[in-house]
Amino acid sequence: MLHRHIPLMIGFCLAPMVAHAGTLALKSPTLKPGATLTKEQEFNGFGCAGKNQSPALKWTAGPKGTQSYAITVYDPDAPTGSGWWHWVVYNIPAHVTELAAGAGNATGKLLPPNAIQGRTDFGTHEFGGACPPVGDKPHRYIFTVHALKIEKIDVPAESSAALIGFMIHGNSLGKASFTAKYRR
């Protein structure tokens, strides 16, 4: 009897994701999906000597009811057992559909008003570029825009990327991603 219910449960869980898949799209004028990150997007520290610059990002308007956006950059291949959060930006107003290259710098001057950069796994509130261990296979860097049903995520300034991610996923109307790679 359990086997009869599994396809129904799977279909029910996937239906909302499929409904939003065509609504939201993310791209970068500086990076193509599957491309290799450049020295522009490499971290400057931990033995890396890149420019630590976030790429330009553009996305289509989110689904009906979108009140804000969040951007995340995540490396699932980091040898931590839990991946590595390279960038978390939230409270991006709903009328904004792009960020300029370098918007993730520590000053945040290129971010839209009220947008907040969360604390990354580097312990900073800015974009942290790629810096995988020397000799590792190419790491994947997943850039994601999240359309949210709330105008503001209200968390303390020092909140972890995991807590911010919890709030993002709990208020998501849809998301779109692309992946780039990097190896040293």
Amino acid sitting at position 145: V
- Ordered by start, the domain boundaries in the chain are 22-182
Q: Where are the alpha helices (DSSP H) in the chain?
A: 2-21, 161-170
Q: Report the pLDDT averaged over residues 98-126.
A: 97
Q: Using the predicted structure, report yes or no on whether residue 150 has a pLDDT greater than 50.
A: yes
* Residue 79 pLDDT: 96
**Cβ-based neighbours of 107, under 8 Å, separated by 6 or more:** none
Q: Does domain 22-182 have CATH number 3.20.20.10?
A: no
46 DSSP 8-state letter: T
For residue range 45-76, list pLDDT tens digits in order: 999 999 999 999 999 999 999 999 999 999 99
Q: Using the predicted structure, report yes or no on whether residue 4 has a pLDDT greater than 50.
A: no
Q: Report the pLDDT averaged over residues 151-178.
A: 97
Q: With pLDDT > 90 as the criterion, what percentage of the chain qualifies?
A: 85
Token couple for 118: 């969360």
